[in-house]
Structure 1
């Protein structure tokens, strides 16, 4: 399934802003969350940020 360009760009920008050791883990976890939501309805870049904040909190990161 393909995401809209704006969502893909926001996802890549978010990942590239992370330290390299975190990127693969966050990519897998966050992709799964976004993809599950995208199966139900379109996901916005703002929602991506919210999903990231939830994941970040569950990882104990600030």
Structure 2
């Protein structure tokens, strides 16, 4: 009858991962660093997002 909690959680993670990838590609980091971050985010969606928030390319203001 509606979106299940698991489906909603997955959708939120997908949106945040896309945001992280876009912000990574817009950052001033080297091309190699950008590629590595995008791969980490894609291969480990939740963990990659958390790692990006903590250690990602400088210039990301944690979802601002």
**Shorter-chain TM-score: which interval?**
0.3 to 0.5
The TM-score normalised by the length of structure 1 is 0.38
| Structure with max Cα Rg | 2
The TM-score normalised by the length of structure 2 is 0.37
